[in-house]
């Protein structure tokens, strides 16, 4: 039986792109009843086997094992998270950026940080804006993250991002209104995704994406354009796993005096030593403490 990739799920139907088919070609399928009986839901990004029917539609009969499975957004087999944060409108929020990074690290995905809307730096204090850009890029590059500065208006960084997405199933995420749809439109002319102007009063954009769908690039990449999130919680994380989601903490933790060190007050803590020596950014450590306390408070509440 033929195989393919689920590129859209809507109203109980799964739109499967057959292997080797032309861009945009899909077969509308239903899922086998056995999936529901077993509590299995086919997801966008699933590699599946399907059985064609006489009317040109089909039935998904088998789901291949998943490499990754995200709950929010519901996407399977994504290996790369493209995290978009704007330099202006809304202004850069490093605490929220670090919160997204914690969740992405917990899911085991690679990360590409895109600093968007560089063109808006010209509308304010350009020199100060460029300094912020340099500092943010240097900070996260030193930790080991890939950082690309982009502008959908001028096209800066667009080709570089597109090249990084080749052959991958990627998830676009980030604060609402940072230009996710605009960047996708710039990478794929003719896509014409809906975009919204930022509310200057609220300082954030409206969600313009209403369901998970894979957008196909001509280089073999697929992008899940998913709703932006302005809030994240830590209910699915434990405090004991938080430090593992800070990349620069991980190699240091192995040498801490106490096993299970919280990196807050223990003697012989190598993370605290690195902070004192300037080897760890103070902003990252302060955010770690904030998240740690937030998680402890939620644990008490629930």
Q: What is the CATH number of the domain that holds 34?
A: 2.40.50.140
pLDDT at 85 over 90: no
Statement to judge: residues 88 and 24 lie in one domain: no
- Tell me if 287 is assigned to a ligand binding site: no
Taking 70 as the threshold, does the pLDDT of residue 151 lie above it? Answer: yes
Question: Which pTM value belongs to this model?
Answer: 0.84
Instruction: Give me the half-sphere count of Cα atoms (radius 13 Å) on the Cβ side of residue 123.
Output: 8
Whole-number pLDDT of residue 195: 47
Residue 147, helix vs strand vs coil: strand
- Residue 46 inside a domain? The answer is yes
Residue 138 lies in a domain: yes
Per-residue model confidence as pLDDT tens digits over 159-200: 999 999 999 999 988 777 767 777 888 877 666 555 443 332
278 phi-psi bin (left φ>0, alpha ψ -120 to 50, beta other): left
Please check whether residue 146 lies inside any domain of the structure.
yes
* CB proximity list for 212: less than 8 A, separation 6 or greater: 8, 9, 44, 73, 74, 75, 224, 226
Residues 181 and 281 in one domain: no
Residues 104-146 have pLDDT tens digits of 998 899 999 999 877 666 655 667 768 888 999 999 999 999 9
> Is 171 domain-assigned?
yes
Q: Is residue 259 part of a domain?
A: yes
Does 182 show up as a binding residue in the annotation? Answer: yes
Instruction: Work out the number of other CB atoms within 10 angstroms of the CB of residue 247.
Output: 15
The reply, when asked if residue 38 is annotated as ligand binding, is: no
Q: Which residue range forms the structural domain that includes residue 143?
A: 75-225
In the listed set 22, 42, 65, which residue is the last one of a domain according to the structure?
A: 65
95 annotated as belonging to a binding site for a ligand: no
In a domain? residue 234? no
CA 133 to chain CA centroid, nearest Å: 20
CATH at residue 110: 3.40.50.300
* Structural domains counted in the chain: 3
Give the residue from 225, 249, 266 where a domain finishes. Answer: 225
Residue 289 falls inside a structural domain:
yes
Both 206 and 107 in one domain: the answer is: yes
Residue range 258-302, pLDDT digits in tens? 998 999 999 999 999 999 999 999 999 999 999 999 988 876 665
- Does the structure show a pLDDT above 70 at 19? yes
Which of 5, 114, 115, 123 minimizes the C-alpha distance to 60? 5
Percent of residues, the chain, with pLDDT higher than 90: 51
Q: Which of 209-213, 252-256, 260-264, 292-296 has the lowest average pLDDT?
A: 209-213
Annotation-wise, does 269 bind a ligand?
yes
Q: Is 199 annotated as a binding residue?
A: no
Residues 247 and 190 both lie in one domain:
no
CA distance readout (Å), 57 to 15, 22, 51, 145: 9, 17, 9, 43
Listed residue (91, 97, 176, 180) closest to 132, CA to CA:
91
In this structure, the answer to whether residues 221 and 248 fall within a common structural domain is: no
Q: Domain ends where: 190, 225, 260?
A: 225
Let me know whether 137 and 189 are in one domain.
yes
Residue 181 assigned as binding residue: yes
Residue 268: which CATH number? 1.10.40.50
What distance in Å separates the CA atoms of residue 255 and residue 133, rounded to the nearest whole number? 33
Q: Are residues 81 and 220 in the same domain?
A: yes
Structure tokens at 184: 């996708």
Distance CA 148, CA 138 (A): 11
Quote the pLDDT of residue 153: 78
User: Taking the CA atoms of the chain, what radius of gyration do you get in angstroms?
Assistant: 21
Interval 224-230 mean pLDDT: 56
Kindly state whether residues 150 and 252 are assigned to the same domain.
no
Q: Same structural domain for residues 21 and 88?
A: no
Answer whether 101's CB lies under 8 Å from 111's CB.
yes
Annotated binding-site residue? 119: yes
Check whether 5 has a pLDDT greater than 90.
Answer: yes
pLDDT above 50 (res 206): no
Query: Any binding-site annotation on 174?
Result: yes
Tokens of 68: 């990754």
Is residue 162 domain-shared with residue 81, that is, in the same domain?
A: yes
């Amino acid at each position: 039986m033929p195989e393919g990739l689920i590129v859209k799920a809507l109203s109980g139907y799964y739109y499967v792109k057959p292997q080797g088919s032309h861009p945009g070609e899909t077969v509308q399928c239903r899922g086998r009843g056995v999936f529901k009986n077993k509590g299995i839901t086919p997801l966008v990004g699933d590699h599946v086997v399907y059985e064609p029917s006489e009317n040109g539609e089909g039935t998904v009969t088998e789901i291949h094992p998943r490499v990754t499975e995200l709950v929010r957004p519901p996407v399977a087999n994504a290996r790369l998270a493209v995290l978009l944060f704007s330099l202006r409108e809304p202004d850069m929020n490093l605490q929220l950026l670090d919160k997204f990074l914690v969740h992405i690290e917990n899911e085991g995905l690679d990360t590409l940080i895109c600093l968007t809307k560089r063109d808006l730096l010209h509308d304010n204090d350009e020199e100060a804006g460029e300094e912020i850009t340099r500092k943010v890029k240097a900070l996260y590059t030193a930790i080991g993250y890939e950082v690309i500065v982009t502008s959908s208006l001028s096209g800066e960084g667009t080709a570089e991002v597109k090249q990084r997405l080749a052959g991958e199933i990627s998830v676009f995420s980030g604060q609402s209104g940072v230009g996710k749809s605009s960047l996708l439109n710039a990478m794929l002319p003719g896509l014409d995704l809906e975009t919204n102007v930022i509310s200057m009063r609220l300082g954030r954009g409206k969600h313009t994406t209403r369901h998970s769908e894979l957008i196909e690039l001509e280089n073999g990449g697929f992008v899940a354009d998913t709703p932006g999130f302005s809030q994240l919680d830590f209910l699915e994380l434990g405090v004991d796993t938080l430090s593992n989601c800070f990349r620069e903490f991980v190699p240091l933790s192995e040498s801490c005096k106490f096993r299970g060190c919280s990196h807050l007050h223990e003697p012989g803590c190598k993370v605290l030593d690195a902070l004192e020596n300037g080897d760890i950014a103070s902003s990252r450590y302060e955010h770690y403490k904030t998240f740690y306390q937030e998680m402890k408070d939620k644990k008490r509440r629930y």
